[in-house]
Amino acid sequence: SERFIQSMQKLLSVNMKVAIVTGANKGVGHGIVERLIKCLTPPSDWHVYLTARNVSLGHEAVDEFVKRGLPVKFHQLDITDQKSRDKLADYVKSNYPDGINILINNAGIAYKTDSNAPFGEQAQVTLATNYFATLEMCNTFLPLMAKNSRLVNVSSIMSVVTLKKLGDELYEKFVKPMTIEQLNDLMHDFIRRAASGDLASAGWPQMAYGVSKLGLTKATFILAEQLKDDPRRILINACCPGYVNTDMTSHKGTKTILEGAVTPVYLATLPEDATEPYGQMISECKPMDWCK
């Protein structure tokens, strides 16, 4: 019966380690899944989940991996949808009582430079996904992280570029300690001003993607600070995959998706006793200076 199959599956997944990659049916996320599954040892101890918003595209990507002898699993996830996040969280709780070992928040969006969408709309939609939804992923899944687990937020070097383009007053806020609430207020301020065309007077550049990733990088630092004494010793970092040849970059990027996966997978597979990097922005497997 269905119930018997479910209870057998549950028995089989106890003691398995679990890795989850968001937005992984194509692009950098797809490269991360492939690189991860090849780096985890022994592979028989791991369940690696490719998640995607679109079920058929997700299954297609998983089937392709399985055909190549790479045992990937699928779970639907739209990071912007609370119900979808909760569904995955419930699935993890019931199947992996020891928690998540690796979570790579890779899902994100970028408007094309020639997009005709009004900038206010671009700001709202981009921040809703890249900042607010990714932060909700952290809030939902951090309580489910296992001992010595790894949380990797795929941000962008654009966060550092954007930081340097902020007005002085705003820049000072971003390089000093702040709370998540204060950061949320700043992100909402950007969205409001983007809609009313009043960015420059407050020191904001007209960069929706850059600001969304600036917010994500800063949020990663704040979360790391909040959890630094957590007995589970979760390593929390943000990273830049580099300029990768994907749909998002209109295939102008110079790196392959497997090359783009190097830094996120390096952070996800740090040795169990590693204590650093922690609460850093990592590019090419090295910490970046945030405010120089």
Query: What is each CA distance from 133 to 91, 153, 212, 219, 286, in whole angstroms?
Result: 19, 12, 11, 12, 26
Catalytic residues, which ones?
A: 209
Give the residue among 70, 81, 62 at the shortest CA–CA distance from 24.
Answer: 62
CA 109 – CA 191 distance, rounded (Å): 16
Whether the CA torsion 77, 78, 84, 90 is positive or negative: it is positive
Query: What is each CA distance from 246 to 25, 186, 229, 258, in whole angstroms?
Result: 12, 30, 38, 11
Asked if 89 and 121 count as a contact pair (C-beta separation under 8 A), the reply is: no
CATH 3.30.980.10 fits 2-110+134-157+210-287, yes or no: no
pLDDT of residue 244: 86
- Summarised one tens digit per residue, pLDDT across range 214-257 is 999 999 999 999 999 999 999 999 999 987 877 777 678 779 98
CA 222 – CA 186 distance, rounded (Å): 14
pLDDT of residue 9: 63
Whether the CA torsion 156, 159, 160, 165 is positive or negative: it is positive
CA 225 – CA 236 distance, rounded (Å): 9
Q: Domain ranges in the chain?
A: 2-110+134-157+210-287
How many CA within 13 A on the CB side of residue 244? Answer: 25
Sequence length of the chain is: 292
Query: What is each CA distance from 69 to 64, 115, 203, 256, in whole angstroms?
Result: 9, 40, 51, 21
| pTM score | 0.94
286's tokens? 């090295």
- Summarised one tens digit per residue, pLDDT across range 189-217 is 999 999 999 999 999 999 999 999 999 99
Residues 6+ apart with CB under 8 A from 72: 33, 37, 48, 49, 50, 61, 62, 65, 66
190's tokens? 């950007």
278's tokens? 């922690």
pLDDT of residue 251: 74
42's tokens? 């022994």
Asked if 74 and 45 count as a contact pair (C-beta separation under 8 A), the reply is: no
Residues of the chain with pLDDT under 50: none
Query: What is each CA distance from 145 to 92, 99, 165, 232, in whole angstroms?
Result: 10, 5, 35, 8
Taking each continuous run of H as one helix and of E as one strand, the counts in the chain are 12, 8
